[in-house]
Homo-oligomer: A and B are copies of this chain.
Amino acid sequence: MAKVNEHYLKLQAGYLFPEIGRRVRAFCEANSDADVIKMGIGDVTQPLPAAVIRAMHDAVDELANVETFKGYGPETGYSFLREAIAENDFAERGVEIDPEEIFISDGSKSDSSNLVEVFGADNKIAVFDPVYPVYVDTNVMVGRTGPALDSGRYEGLVYLPLTEETGFQPPLPKEKVDLIYLCNPNNPTGTVASKKTLQKWVDYAREHEAVIFYDAAYEAFISEDDMPHSIYEIPGAKDVAIELRSFSKTAGFTGTRCAFTVVPRQLTGTTSDGQSQALHPLWYRRHSTKSNGVSYPIQRGAAAIYTPDGKQQVRKLVDFYLENARLLREGMSDAGFTVYGGVNAPYVWLKTPTGLSSWEFFDLLLEKSNIVGTPGSGFGAAGEGFFRLSAFSSRENTVEAIARIQKSVAAKV
């Protein structure tokens, strides 16, 4: 008799974005002439950089010819891409990463999901609240939590609240934890951690032999000079941190799919008899056993991001969204809202008007301004009373959205 994995049955049915979709559909059916602007899900809108397009065309042509055809590639990614990453994303910032420590994948969502597999069942996990739901759900699936509580939290996880009082930088855990998900620049709050803050986490991890999953999917949006772009800029981090990066938001790859994970060779976990065990060979074994790597033309496209043309085009793309973020931030502030984020991240995190919950503000904004955002409480209990607006829109829609809100929604009710 085939037994199912019952941990899946603990998962909360109502995932955030399907619920948003349901409400938007209902609104549109009742208001068929409404011109709805979507600033909810963080999906890019601008075309791929020309250098990427050209590289992908060239790679497709290679597949058309018996002399240049590519079959199975290296499971962990082609050297041309891993070397470009090591050089441009790390060496240029003074961080030494061996290309063999870089694993190419089809996305950070997959990577952050799959990483849980090389760790044992009996680890204590810390996540921020609000949080990217994938971190939580994938731990539920493998049985590292108890059932869901009424708050939407799961028994057994340690939640670290991101609050206004601390500038959305969480406190260190009071109890000892083993694995820490650290998303920086942060989704959903749009805030960023300084070197000092990251050093605090690295020190904690070193002291407690914990491992940090450092999700830097929004790294490209860091615009302030003194902010760290990689956790490996922090002394001691290579002993305790895995870094995840993605081309999704950086270069518009949400539908093209390419990302990578860095697992330093010196990073270790522990076996039950107290032996130290390097994580690099375990992750390598996982990658090579369960995957045949990323499509060749896609890896060529990703590598083009690091050419001189590619770099310039990516910079322009990121600046475009950052300008949207600035407009949103200032526009909402002018309208009387308290706003956070939007400087080093493509998200603006605003306080809902007094007395309105996140979902009530969602409904109000949809009703009055025909704008879709994301309720903060959808990312976790501590997100209640906040709301996320995404800068991944066209300029026209961004400007129009601000005008509509300024006209019809009061920041205080």
The CA of A72 and the CA of B249, in the complex, are separated in Å by: 11
Task: Tell which of B1, B272, B296 touches A3, judged by Cβ atoms closer than 8 Å.
Answer: B272
Chain A: residues with Cβ within 8 Å of the partner, total of 83
- Please state if B64 and A46 are interface contacts (CB–CB under 8 Å): no
Q: Which residues of B contact A70 (CB under 8 A)?
A: 255
- With contacts A2-B123, A3-B178, A72-B43 taken as known, whether A9 is within 8 angstroms of B60 at the C-beta atoms is no
Which residues of A from 192 to 227 have beta carbons under 8 Å from B?
208-211
Smallest beta-carbon distance A63→chain B, Å: 5
Q: Which residues of B contact A56 (CB under 8 A)?
A: 60, 63, 297
Q: Which residues of B contact A257 (CB under 8 A)?
A: 292-295
Interface residue? A256 (CB, 8 A): yes
Q: Which residues of B contact A71 (CB under 8 A)?
A: 43-45, 252, 254-255
Q: Which residues of B contact A277 (CB under 8 A)?
A: 4, 9
Interface residue? A315 (CB, 8 A): no
- Please state if A66 and B41 are interface contacts (CB–CB under 8 Å): no
- With contacts A8-B285, A63-B256, A69-B45 taken as known, whether A110 is within 8 angstroms of B2 at the C-beta atoms is no
- Please state if A272 and B6 are interface contacts (CB–CB under 8 Å): yes
- Main SS class of interface, A: loop
Interface residue? A166 (CB, 8 A): no
Interface residue? A153 (CB, 8 A): no
Q: Pick out which of these stretches binds chain B: A94-102, A112-120, A332-340, A342-350.
A: A112-120
Q: Which residues of B contact A296 (CB under 8 A)?
A: 255-256
The CA of A118 and the CA of B57, in the complex, are separated in Å by: 38
Interface residue? A160 (CB, 8 A): no
Interface residues of A (CB under 8 A from B): 1-6, 8-9, 11, 15, 41, 43-48, 50, 53, 56-57, 60-61, 63-66, 69-73, 106-107, 109-110, 113-114, 117-123, 134, 137-138, 141-142, 178-179, 208-211, 248, 252, 254-257, 269-272, 277, 279, 282, 285-286, 288-298, 394
Closest 3 CB pairs of A and B: A3-B120, A4-B269, A113-B290
**A4-B269, A5-B119, A69-B255 provided; 6 other pairs, C-beta below 8 A?**
A1-B208, A2-B119, A2-B210, A5-B118, A6-B120, A53-B64
Could you list 24 A-B pairs, sorted by A, with CB under 8 Å?
Answer: A2-B179, A2-B269, A3-B120, A3-B271, A5-B117, A5-B118, A6-B272, A15-B288, A41-B72, A45-B71, A46-B69, A48-B64, A53-B64, A60-B297, A70-B255, A72-B254, A106-B294, A113-B291, A134-B290, A137-B289, A138-B289, A254-B292, A257-B295, A297-B298
